[in-house]
């Protein structure tokens, strides 16, 4: 191996201990300073600097000063939605618990293979444990199984795939899927990916409260049966993105049972509220579906990258996923939690660690306290805005407070509040009308920010 | 908000700066010590401690000593395949570049939303830049687009979905997909998920070199056409998992062009070798397909969690994915890189950062040097083992060296080598026979480990 020596130094991508410590120290210092300053920043993000240069040439040589790279990233981060900030009440807020971020670092650093149980049984057991804690915390029966996904979209996709494989098999082109006209677009996109094309998707109209009308669902199912099609799946929402509306889950489950359909409940945003009493009261029937999506990177405040799907029957989740190959380690046996039996993925990040670390470090009670607080804060905002004659606050049960400005002016209101920079709101259009949304879900959004949003809305109204 | 005060402390999940620094310091110290000691550990992992307790009860209260949690994770990690170690030559080795692990920490800590370009344009631009560097480095024409996935399975799934949407539409149940009998099982699993069921998947026999036989592919296509079916996609391998065999890519592309089929090339393991001259010579035709999977967490040494798909025509990747919704920010316009236009995902981890940080910190030349070294090391191992009369080394062009022990004894050889603990090998079964595999792909596997594996195999043969 004479040639070896020539490139040996260049080919060495291992850093020495001192180098690793120095680089990590730089990241840590900057990151902690950033987080400490989150409360002081303008809630909208800083868009002053333009970044429109397009991709630069390939860097043949590296950049020896890691600090430069770090500073560039943080500078660029300024020009983004300030999702982790306490005043971020737009879209669905992000969280980013620090122990979870550390767990991502640790998981990537030790880089064990957690896609298959046999390759890291004691680590995969931590993932299983975290999923079990949430299963029990939500109130699901033992035996209900769960799997972690990169986000809610793939969780919803997986649910539709399970339903399709169970109920349609080779007749998949005849299968019809139902959701409300308020459904998240990831559902229709996922259904299409699973082979349920647009011609087999039905949008069921919603009530004034923006919840699916079960009698119209039943009619749509009957109409499709009359056409010789195979209704197989209803996707309902336990908290829509627009307004947090909750579909009538018990009625939909009843229809699905009667008709032999799979009931998937998309609780990507709202599902975590089932962990607290105050939330459970608003989510009747959330445990009665065949599957439930919950996004820990929403309601459990984790950094982006952790979605979750629960499925009532293990065999339904295994059916599309469990396989074997000559080069894989042996199957640990029936009934054992093995991520590769529940997912399209094989190599994957160790998603279980950030979730486990966060639940274990804080304990479930503190997550419950935080979720209960967000419900109270949103409830208080709703009450206060309801007192304003100039506003029409839409019905809503979770932590989205959506409202219209009577006689128009919603856009101006939102822009004025956002310009002020203490809180940041977003909007949507409902049946053609402009609706302002306030979504309380970041663990950093506390009482002062609730007061700020009410004050700033009032300031605009007083004009 | 009188109730607020009661739970306010419990609901506070923010840590103070000192707490964050302390916790991160603990993680860093342990992680760096671990990495520094990787070279000294038994290559097989330490399985002494049993971890079969099953999930523990829900932790209502948290664990105030973060150190305990950390130590538990590291203790559990011992009982796993030692994927990041220098002697790990089993399956497909893992890597875990330190700057990438740090980037995961940073990304989770700043927690910006990078699923949609408009939400973090300057950060998404870094992801675009990293993808562009690889596109150019591989030799793809400008305009070829790429997307990051959690791993190779979802990359392969995405490719099949693009092919299906382009070529089948509502006729999807008539579509037939072809791959060789050496294909990775994720391909058949992904095809099924995309609605191409087992009755529409064909396994094309391979040559003695375990490469797809193009004349049999052409025959299979003709037979399906005669049956009234719609051949639409061939998935070929640019480096199989079993032996690193490369399908005859130019011939397959030619057949696909003639027949109007999509040619997807699975280079999850082997594709990165296209970055170096020594690899290009072995991968003719790898740029001629309609799509190519490459796993940066394999050939670019990143921690688990980064796969990648390149697609020749932007519109083909956008077709199944691009959508709009009333609550999404505005589309930045045609031709702009936006992850949500290329993927089922919406919320997702900022996968681009670990890739960008690694490429930028080391520079592409050092990745090339490392890849060239792995090819040389595997070539040298192959030559040395070929000298052994007791072994039958299978054909292979990349960094998998697969061999049988003449007259049997492969299992004993593998077990003896693994027991010694300097290197760790795995096996597979090919046409019923036990085959030992050596896979050189970890950036930590250097010349000494190549020598060790040859020495330890020889020791067994002499024994």
**Are A257 and A372 part of one and the same domain?**
no
**Are A267 and A220 part of one and the same domain?**
yes
| Distance in Å, alpha carbon of B181 to nearest chain A alpha carbon | 11
Nearest-angstrom CA–CA distance, B57 and A276:
18
Nearest-angstrom CA–CA distance, A403 and A439:
12
The string of DSSP letters for A108-167 reads HHH----SSGGGSHHHHHHHHHHHHHHHHHHTPPTT-EEEEESSHHHHHHHHHHHHHHHH
For residues A424 and A453, is the Cβ–Cβ distance under 8 A?
Answer: no
Tell me phi and psi for residue B358, to 5 degrees.
-70, -45
Greater confidence, B379 or A322? B379
- For B211, what's the count of Cα atoms within 13 Å in the CB-facing half-sphere? 19
**Are A138 and A208 part of one and the same domain?**
yes
Nearest-angstrom CA–CA distance, B201 and B194:
12
**Are B313 and B432 part of one and the same domain?**
no
**Are B239 and B206 part of one and the same domain?**
yes
* Domain finish residue from A363, A395, A427: A363
**Are B312 and B439 part of one and the same domain?**
no
Q: How confident is the model at residue A23 (pLDDT cuts 50, 70, 90)?
A: very high
The answer, yes or no, to whether residue A370 has pLDDT greater than 60, is yes
For residues B346 and A153, is the Cβ–Cβ distance under 8 A?
Answer: yes
SS3 B94: coil
Residue of A29, A58, A103, A187 best to disrupt the B interface, most CBs of B under 10 A: A58
| Distance in Å, alpha carbon of A107 to nearest chain B alpha carbon | 8
Is residue B5 a part of any domain in this protein?
no
**pLDDT on residue A327:** 55
Tell me phi and psi for residue A356, to 5 degrees.
-60, -45
**pLDDT on residue B324:** 60
**Cross-chain CB nearest to A153 (options B119, B344, B447):** B344
**Are A165 and A213 part of one and the same domain?**
yes
Helix axes B17-37, A17-37, angle to 10 degrees: 160
**pLDDT on residue A45:** 85
**pLDDT on residue B331:** 59
Write the ipTM.
0.96
Contacts of A188 in chain B (CB under 8 A): 323
* Mean pLDDT along residues A431-447: 96
- For A450, what's the count of Cα atoms within 13 Å in the CB-facing half-sphere? 26
Angle at B412 between CA B409 and CA B416, to 5 degrees: 140
Cβ atoms within 10 A of the Cβ of B53, count? 9
Angle at A358 between CA A355 and CA A364, to 5 degrees: 100
**pLDDT on residue B53:** 73
Nearest one of B138, B66, B65 to B299, comparing CA atoms: B138
**pLDDT on residue A323:** 75
Measure CA A100 to chain center: 15
SS3 A302: coil
Is residue B284 a part of any domain in this protein?
yes
**Are A289 and A369 part of one and the same domain?**
no
**pLDDT on residue A329:** 62
Tell me the CA end-to-end span of chain B in Å, nearest whole number: 79
SS3 A27: helix
Closest residue in chain B to residue A84, using alpha carbons only: B111
Nearest-angstrom CA–CA distance, A203 and A67:
51
Q: What is the DSSP letter of A400?
A: E
Convert the pLDDT of each residue in A223-276 to its tens digit.
Answer: 999 999 999 999 999 999 999 999 999 999 999 999 999 999 999 999 999 999
Nearest-angstrom CA–CA distance, A55 and A75:
17
Number of helices (H) and strands (E) in chain B: give both, helices first.
16, 11
- Helix (H) or strand (E) run with residue B122 in it: helix B121-138
* Domain finish residue from B297, B331, B363: B363
* Domain finish residue from A343, A363, A383: A363
SS3 A35: helix
Greater confidence, A63 or A127? A127
**pLDDT on residue A328:** 58
* Mean pLDDT along residues A87-110: 96
For residues B437 and B92, is the Cβ–Cβ distance under 8 A?
Answer: no
Closest residue in chain A to residue B171, using alpha carbons only: A173
**Cross-chain CB nearest to A58 (options B137, B157, B361):** B137
Tell me the β-bridge partners of A435: A428
For residues A197 and A180, is the Cβ–Cβ distance under 8 A?
Answer: no
Strands A201-204 and A175-180: parallel
Verify whether the Cβ–Cβ distance B132 to A447 is below 8 Å.
no
C-alpha torsion sign, points A84, A89, A93, A95: positive
The answer, yes or no, to whether residue A180 has pLDDT greater than 60, is yes
Closest residue in chain B to residue A128, using alpha carbons only: B55
Cα separations in angstroms, B137 against A161, A392, B131, B365: 37, 56, 10, 10
Is residue A247 a part of any domain in this protein?
yes
Locus of tokens 């382009």? B166
Residue B141: partners with Cβ closer than 8 Å, 6 or more residues away = none
Cα separations in angstroms, A353 against A89, A104, A105, B72: 28, 7, 10, 12
Nearest one of B142, B198, B398, B386 to A55, comparing CA atoms: B142
Contacts of B305 in chain A (CB under 8 A): 108, 347-349
Number of helices (H) and strands (E) in chain A: give both, helices first.
16, 11
**Are B292 and B439 part of one and the same domain?**
no
Residue of A13, A136, A244, A350 best to disrupt the B interface, most CBs of B under 10 A: A13
Verify whether the Cβ–Cβ distance B122 to A31 is below 8 Å.
no
Residue of A94, A240, A327 best to disrupt the B interface, most CBs of B under 10 A: A327
Mean pLDDT of chain A: 94
**Cross-chain CB nearest to A113 (options B152, B304, B443):** B304
**pLDDT on residue A221:** 98
Nearest one of A329, A322, A273, A338 to A299, comparing CA atoms: A273
Closest residue in chain A to residue B158, using alpha carbons only: A193
Is residue A9 a part of any domain in this protein?
no
* Number of structural domains chain A divides into: 2
Nearest-angstrom CA–CA distance, A421 and B405:
71
Closest residue in chain B to residue A240, using alpha carbons only: B327
Strands B175-180 and A291-294: unpaired
Q: Strand order in A426-430's β-sheet?
A: A391-393, A400-405, A433-439, A426-430
Closest residue in chain A to residue B98, using alpha carbons only: A109
Is residue B196 a part of any domain in this protein?
yes
Verify whether the Cβ–Cβ distance A31 to B109 is below 8 Å.
yes
Q: How confident is the model at residue A463 (pLDDT cuts 50, 70, 90)?
A: confident
Convert the pLDDT of each residue in A122-149 to its tens digit.
Answer: 999 999 999 999 999 999 999 999 999 9
Count of A-B CB contacts under 8 Å: 497
For residues A175 and A233, is the Cβ–Cβ distance under 8 A?
Answer: yes
**Are A375 and A340 part of one and the same domain?**
no
| Distance in Å, alpha carbon of B103 to nearest chain A alpha carbon | 8
Task: Specify the CATH number for the domain of residue B414.
Answer: 3.90.1150.10
Is residue A388 a part of any domain in this protein?
yes
Nearest-angstrom CA–CA distance, B414 and B400:
15
* Residue-wise burial string across A9-18, b where 16 or more C-beta atoms lie within 10 A, e elsewhere: ebbebbbeee
Q: What is the DSSP letter of B50?
A: -
Tell me phi and psi for residue A351, to 5 degrees.
-65, -25
Which domain, by its residues, includes A420? 365-462
Cα separations in angstroms, A38 against A41, A42, A103, A213, B118: 6, 9, 21, 42, 21
For residues A364 and B59, is the Cβ–Cβ distance under 8 A?
Answer: yes
Q: What is the DSSP letter of B254?
A: H
Strands A433-439 and A400-405: antiparallel
For residues B112 and A80, is the Cβ–Cβ distance under 8 A?
Answer: yes
For residues A306 and A297, is the Cβ–Cβ distance under 8 A?
Answer: yes
Q: What is the DSSP letter of A55?
A: P
Per-residue pLDDT of chain B (463 residues; tens, 9 = 90+): 555 555 789 999 999 999 999 999 999 999 999 999 999 999 988 887 777 678 899 888 998 899 999 999 999 999 999 999 999 999 999 989 999 999 999 999 999 999 999 999 999 999 999 999 999 999 999 999 999 999 999 999 999 999 999 999 999 999 999 999 999 889 999 999 999 999 999 999 999 999 999 999 999 999 999 999 999 999 999 999 999 999 999 999 999 999 999 999 999 999 999 999 999 999 999 999 999 999 999 999 999 999 999 999 999 999 999 876 555 566 556 678 999 999 999 999 999 999 999 999 999 999 999 999 999 999 999 999 999 999 999 999 999 999 999 999 999 999 999 999 999 999 999 989 999 999 999 999 999 999 999 999 999 999 8
The answer, yes or no, to whether residue A331 has pLDDT greater than 70, is no
Task: Specify the CATH number for the domain of residue B273.
Answer: 3.40.640.10
Is residue A53 a part of any domain in this protein?
no
* Residue-wise burial string across A303-329, b where 16 or more C-beta atoms lie within 10 A, e elsewhere: bbbbbbbbbbebebbbebbebeeebbe
**Cross-chain CB nearest to B102 (options A24, A33, A76):** A24
**Are B390 and B333 part of one and the same domain?**
no
Nearest-angstrom CA–CA distance, A311 and A149:
13
Tell me the CA end-to-end span of chain A in Å, nearest whole number: 79
| Distance in Å, alpha carbon of A418 to nearest chain B alpha carbon | 15
Nearest one of B282, B260, B258 to B270, comparing CA atoms: B282
**Are B151 and B279 part of one and the same domain?**
yes
Radius of gyration for the alpha carbons in chain A, expressed in angstroms and rounded: 24
Nearest-angstrom CA–CA distance, A285 and A203:
21
Is residue B78 a part of any domain in this protein?
no
Nearest-angstrom CA–CA distance, A101 and A358:
9
């Amino acid at each position: 191996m004479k040639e070896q020596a020539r490139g040996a130094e260049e080919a060495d991508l291992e850093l020495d201990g001192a180098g690793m410590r120095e680089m990590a120290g730089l990241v840590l210092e900057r990151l902690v300073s950033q987080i400490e300053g989150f409360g002081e920043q303008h809630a909208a993000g800083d868009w002053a600097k333009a970044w429109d240069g397009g991709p630069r040439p390939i860097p043949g040589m590296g950049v020896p000063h890691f600090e430069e790279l770090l500073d560039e990233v943080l500078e660029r981060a300024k020009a983004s939605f300030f999702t982790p900030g306490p005043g971020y009440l737009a879209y669905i807020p992000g969280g980013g618990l620090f122990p979870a971020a550390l767990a991502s670092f640790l998981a990537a650093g030790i880089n064990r293979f957690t896609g298959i149980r046999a390759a890291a049984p004691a680590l995969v057991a931590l993932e299983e444990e975290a999923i079990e804690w949430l299963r029990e915390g939500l109130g699901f029966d033992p035996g209900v199984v769960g799997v972690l996904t990169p986000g809610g979209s793939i969780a919803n996709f997986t649910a539709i795939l399970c339903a399709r494989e169970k109920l349609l098999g080779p007749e998949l082109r005849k299968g019809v899927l139902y959701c409300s006209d308020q459904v998240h677009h990831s559902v229709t996109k996922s259904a299409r990916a699973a082979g349920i094309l647009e011609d087999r998707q039905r949008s069921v109209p919603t009530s004034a409260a923006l919840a699916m009308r079960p009698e119209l669902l039943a009619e749509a199912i009957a109409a499709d049966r009359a056409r010789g099609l195979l209704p197989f799946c209803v996707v309902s929402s336990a908290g829509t993105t627009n307004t947090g509306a909750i579909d009538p889950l018990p009625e939909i489950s009843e229809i699905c049972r009667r008709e032999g359909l799979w009931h998937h409940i998309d609780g990507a945003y709202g599902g975590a509220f089932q962990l607290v009493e105050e939330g459970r009261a608003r989510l009747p029937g959330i445990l009665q579906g065949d599957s439930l999506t919950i996004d820990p990177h929403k309601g459990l405040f984790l950094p982006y990258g952790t979605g979750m799907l629960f499925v009532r029957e293990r065999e339904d989740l295994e059916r599309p996923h469990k396989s074997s190959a000559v080069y894989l380690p042996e199957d640990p046996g029936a009934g054992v939690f093995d991520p590769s039996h529940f997912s399209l993925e094989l190599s994957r990040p160790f998603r279980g660690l950030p979730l486990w670390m966060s639940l274990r470090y804080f304990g479930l009670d503190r997550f419950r306290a935080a979720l209960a607080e967000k419900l109270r804060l949103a409830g208080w905002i709703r009450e206060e805005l309801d007192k304003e004659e100039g506003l029409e606050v839409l019905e809503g049960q979770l932590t989205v407070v959506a409202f219209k400005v009577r006689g128009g002016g919603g856009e101006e209101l939102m822009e004025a509040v956002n310009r002020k920079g203490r809180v940041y709101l977003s909007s949507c259009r409902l049946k053609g009308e402009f609706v302002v949304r306030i979504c309380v879900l970041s663990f950093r959004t506390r009482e002062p920010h609730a007061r700020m949003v009410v004050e700033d809305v009032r300031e605009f109204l007083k004009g």
